[in-house]
Amino acid sequence: MSIRIRTKNQGSKTAVKVLIRHPMETGLRKDKSGATIPVHFIREVDCTHNSITVFKAIWGVAVSKNPFVSFVVNQVSRGDNITVSWVDNLGQSDSKSVTV
Protein backbone atom coordinates (compact mmCIF):
# COMPACT_ATOMS: atom_id res chain seq x y z
CA MET A 1 0.00 0.00 0.00
CA SER A 2 1.37 3.26 -0.91
CA ILE A 3 0.43 6.91 -1.08
CA ARG A 4 1.41 9.27 -3.89
CA ILE A 5 1.06 13.02 -3.45
CA ARG A 6 1.36 15.73 -6.11
CA THR A 7 1.01 19.46 -5.53
CA LYS A 8 0.61 22.20 -8.09
CA ASN A 9 0.40 25.93 -7.39
CA GLN A 10 -2.50 27.72 -9.09
CA GLY A 11 -2.17 31.40 -8.31
CA SER A 12 -2.85 31.89 -4.62
CA LYS A 13 -4.09 28.30 -4.22
CA THR A 14 -2.47 24.89 -4.41
CA ALA A 15 -4.07 21.81 -5.90
CA VAL A 16 -3.21 18.60 -4.06
CA LYS A 17 -3.68 15.24 -5.77
CA VAL A 18 -3.52 12.04 -3.80
CA LEU A 19 -3.45 8.46 -5.05
CA ILE A 20 -3.64 5.63 -2.53
CA ARG A 21 -3.22 1.94 -3.20
CA HIS A 22 -6.05 0.12 -1.44
CA PRO A 23 -8.54 -2.64 -2.43
CA MET A 24 -11.69 -0.73 -1.28
CA GLU A 25 -13.76 -3.92 -1.06
CA THR A 26 -17.51 -3.31 -0.70
CA GLY A 27 -18.31 -6.53 1.13
CA LEU A 28 -20.91 -7.22 -1.57
CA ARG A 29 -18.67 -9.03 -4.07
CA LYS A 30 -18.19 -12.78 -4.14
CA ASP A 31 -15.11 -14.73 -5.15
CA LYS A 32 -15.11 -17.69 -7.57
CA SER A 33 -16.17 -20.17 -4.88
CA GLY A 34 -19.16 -17.97 -4.00
CA ALA A 35 -17.76 -16.78 -0.68
CA THR A 36 -18.26 -13.12 0.11
CA ILE A 37 -15.11 -11.05 -0.04
CA PRO A 38 -14.94 -9.25 3.33
CA VAL A 39 -15.52 -5.52 3.43
CA HIS A 40 -12.25 -3.57 3.50
CA PHE A 41 -12.23 0.14 2.80
CA ILE A 42 -10.66 3.42 3.84
CA ARG A 43 -12.87 5.38 6.22
CA GLU A 44 -10.90 8.55 6.70
CA VAL A 45 -8.20 10.46 4.90
CA ASP A 46 -6.54 13.42 6.58
CA CYS A 47 -4.35 16.02 4.97
CA THR A 48 -2.25 18.39 7.02
CA HIS A 49 -0.27 21.42 5.88
CA ASN A 50 2.57 22.17 8.32
CA SER A 51 0.76 20.04 10.96
CA ILE A 52 -2.58 21.86 10.57
CA THR A 53 -5.46 19.80 9.18
CA VAL A 54 -6.63 21.43 5.96
CA PHE A 55 -8.76 18.69 4.45
CA LYS A 56 -10.51 15.55 5.56
CA ALA A 57 -12.28 12.92 3.48
CA ILE A 58 -14.81 10.52 4.98
CA TRP A 59 -15.38 7.60 2.69
CA GLY A 60 -17.76 4.73 2.28
CA VAL A 61 -17.35 1.59 0.18
CA ALA A 62 -18.49 3.40 -2.99
CA VAL A 63 -15.11 5.07 -3.48
CA SER A 64 -13.21 3.24 -6.22
CA LYS A 65 -10.36 0.81 -5.72
CA ASN A 66 -6.98 2.54 -5.49
CA PRO A 67 -8.69 5.79 -4.54
CA PHE A 68 -7.86 9.13 -6.04
CA VAL A 69 -8.78 12.45 -4.51
CA SER A 70 -7.83 15.98 -5.40
CA PHE A 71 -8.62 19.16 -3.54
CA VAL A 72 -7.53 22.77 -3.29
CA VAL A 73 -5.87 24.41 -0.30
CA ASN A 74 -4.52 27.88 0.33
CA GLN A 75 -1.09 28.37 -1.09
CA VAL A 76 1.65 26.00 -0.09
CA SER A 77 5.11 27.54 -0.15
CA ARG A 78 8.42 25.92 -0.94
CA GLY A 79 9.70 23.89 1.98
CA ASP A 80 6.23 23.42 3.47
CA ASN A 81 5.20 20.01 4.66
CA ILE A 82 2.13 18.17 3.36
CA THR A 83 1.14 14.96 5.12
CA VAL A 84 -1.59 12.60 4.01
CA SER A 85 -2.73 9.75 6.24
CA TRP A 86 -5.58 7.25 6.09
CA VAL A 87 -7.29 4.71 8.34
CA ASP A 88 -9.44 1.83 7.09
CA ASN A 89 -12.25 -0.20 8.65
CA LEU A 90 -9.80 -2.87 9.83
CA GLY A 91 -7.73 -0.30 11.68
CA GLN A 92 -4.89 -0.41 9.18
CA SER A 93 -3.35 2.91 8.35
CA ASP A 94 -0.63 4.61 6.37
CA SER A 95 0.83 8.06 6.19
CA LYS A 96 3.15 9.94 3.90
CA SER A 97 4.83 13.32 4.14
CA VAL A 98 6.24 15.39 1.31
CA THR A 99 8.18 18.60 1.37
CA VAL A 100 7.07 20.86 -1.43
Partner 1 sequence: MNTITRRKFIASTAGCSLAGLFLPGNYAWAQWPTQAFGGKDITSVIEKLYGSSKMEDSAAITIKAPDIAENGAVVPVSIKTKLTGVESVSILVDENPNPLAAQFLISPGNSGDVATRIKLAKKSKVTAVVKANGKLYTNSRFIKVTLGGCGGPG
Q: How far is the CB of 49 from partner 1 (least distance, A)?
A: 9
Q: How far is the CB of 79 from partner 1 (least distance, A)?
A: 21
How many residues of this chain interact with partner 1, rule: CB under 8 A?
31
Residue 29 is a binding residue for partner 1 (CB under 8 A): yes
Distance of CA 92 to the CA centre of its chain: 13
Beta-strand relationship, 13-20 and 3-10: antiparallel
The sign of the dihedral angle between the CA atoms of 27, 29, 30, 32 is negative
> Mapping DSSP to helix (H, G, I), strand (E, B) and coil, where does residue 60 land?
coil
The sign of the dihedral angle between the CA atoms of 69, 72, 73, 78 is positive
Cβ-based nearer residue to partner 1, 46 or 96: 46
Contact track, partner 1, 41-80, x by CB under 8 A: --xx-------xxxxxxxxxxxxxx-xxxxxxxx------
Contact residues toward partner 1 (CB under 8 A) are 13, 26, 28-29, 43-44, 52-65, 67-74, 89-91
